[in-house]
Structure 1
Amino acid sequence: MIVDLSVGGVLIPGLVVLALAALVATMAVVRLLAVTGVHRLFAHRALVELAVFVLLYGLLVQCLPSVGTLP
């Protein structure tokens, strides 16, 4: 189970925090693709952005150690 984050007494689910981190990383990768001109190789830029987000989000979820009390 992924640990929740407490901000001022408000609990934010850990997966939402990871989604925000993946969103920020996606924006950085998309800008890098735009600066280097690689985005011209793809027909559907929005689909590439979605794929990058899904890949980064999956990597973050896989790398985060699970914390739980169940055996």
Structure 2
Amino acid sequence: MIADLDLGGVIIPGLLVLALASLAATTAAIRLLAYARLTRLFAYRPLVELAVFAILYGLLVQAASSIGLFQ
């Protein structure tokens, strides 16, 4: 069973909450890479952003399932 978030009667899926958290973390990570000028090394920046999002989303889902958020 996937844990959902209830905000005043509006049910938000748990995976959507994790996706929004990983989107925020991706934005922070890409800005950190841009500040360090490491984005110049990438040939296609949108593909790197998608890969970072997928990695962070997978890590958040794995962490949430290991602490028992998803059962």
Give the TM-score, by structure 1 length: 0.90
Matching of residue 51 in structure 1 with residue 46 in structure 2: no
> Take 1:19 and 1:62, find their aligned partners in 2: how far apart are those partners?
13
Match of 2:34 in 1: 34
- How far 1:37 sits from its partner (Å)? 0.5
Unaligned stretches of 5+ residues in structure 2: none
Match of 2:63 in 1: 63
Moved over 3 A (4+): none
What letter corresponds to residue 51 of structure 2 in structure 1?
A: A
Give the TM-score, by structure 2 length: 0.90
> Over residues 15-71 of structure 1, what are the superposed CA-to-partner deviations in whole Å (9 max), with x where a residue is unaligned?
000000000000000000000001011100000000000000000000003443xxx
- Structure of larger gyration radius: 1
> Take 1:61 and 1:6, find their aligned partners in 2: how far apart are those partners?
19
- How far 1:2 sits from its partner (Å)? 2.4
> Take 2:15 and 2:4, find their aligned partners in 1: how far apart are those partners?
8
Equivalent residue of 2:29, what SS? helix
Instruction: Output the aligned Cα RMSD.
Output: 1.0
